[in-house]
């Protein structure tokens, strides 16, 4: 049994398959602007950098740009709609609950570090009955910085009661690999999330294709004496 670690998770595309509700909210905004909807398949990889960036990417797909004031209005519209429809179709990825149960039983801490707004993150996890599993849930507005700035990772670990030197990042995109590298901790990439660059190309320390494989991947990293060292 290893000493307790802090497992820090990205949210969208890592813990929860939120794409259906996020893209529905995006298409709500686009429809109000008189634009056609973005197909679900192509829009999945637009997710991961926050609401504003998602809207920007949706507009880019239609060859449109807007003024900063219009973007502010559209972002507010998106957040209002999404907050009211945040867990219509969103679900935890298969195998997640068993993995979290195992980590908790072994005494490890669990935390969420996301570029989603904190209150939206908590609302989503509340509605999915997941919030109680995490010692800290931190978003883009919690500390005033976003991933890949390492401050958000370090402060999330501290809020969870852990230590950075005994922590692991789990995520699906470049911001997750980036924040881990800058914080000097290992990172597990999940291949089923949302990213315009294949996660394997970003060379996470471990790569999994299903949440059932997460405990083994995490435990293999916990035995490494030099956290953050490239292992593959």
Catalytic residue status for 10: yes
Among 10, 21, 176, 205, the one annotated catalytic: 10
Backbone angles phi, psi at 34, to 5 degrees: 80, 25
* Of the candidates 35, 29, 31, 23, the residue with the CA atom closest to the CA atom of residue 77: 29
Strands (E), the chain: 6-9, 16-17, 91-92, 109-113, 136-138, 167-171, 187-190, 206-208
Chain centroid offset of residue 94 CA: 16
| Residues annotated in a binding site for Mg(2+) | 10, 12, 172
List beta partners, residue 207.
Answer: 189
Q: Specify burial of residue 69 (Cβ count, 10 A radius: 0-12, 13-18, 19+).
A: exposed
Q: Would you state the structure tokens that stand for residue 60, as one six-digit string?
A: 């880019």
Cα–Cα distance, 28 to 217 (Å, whole number) = 39
Helix then strand then coil, % of the chain, to nearest 5: 50, 10, 40
| Residues annotated in a binding site | 10, 12, 172
Task: Kindly list the catalytic residues.
Answer: 10
């Amino acid at each position: 049994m290893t000493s307790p670690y802090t497992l820090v998770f990205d949210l969208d595309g890592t813990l929860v398959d939120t794409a259906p509700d996020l893209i529905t909210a995006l298409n709500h905004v686009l429809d109000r602007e008189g634009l056609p909807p973005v197909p679900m398949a192509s829009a999945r990889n637009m997710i991961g950098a926050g609401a504003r960036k998602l809207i920007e990417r949706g507009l880019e797909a239609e060859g449109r740009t807007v003024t900063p004031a219009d973007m502010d209005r559209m972002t507010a519209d998106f957040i209002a709609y999404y907050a009211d429809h945040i867990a219509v179709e969103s679900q935890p990825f298969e195998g997640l609950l068993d993995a979290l149960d195992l980590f908790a039983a072994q005494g490890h801490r669990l935390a969420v570090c996301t570029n989603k707004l904190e209150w939206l993150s908590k609302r989503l996890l509340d509605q999915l009955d997941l919030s109680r599993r995490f010692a800290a849930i931190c978003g883009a507005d919690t500390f005033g910085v976003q991933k890949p700035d390492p401050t958000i990772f370090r402060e999330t670990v501290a809020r969870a009661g852990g230590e950075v030197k005994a922590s692991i990042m789990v995520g699906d995109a470049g911001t997750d690999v980036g924040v881990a590298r800058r914080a000097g901790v290992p990172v597990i990439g999940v291949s089923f999330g949302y990213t315009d660059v294949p996660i394997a190309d970003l060379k996470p320390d471990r790569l999994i294709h299903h949440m059932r494989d997460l405990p083994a991947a995490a435990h293999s990293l916990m035995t490494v004496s030099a956290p953050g060292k490239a292992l593959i």
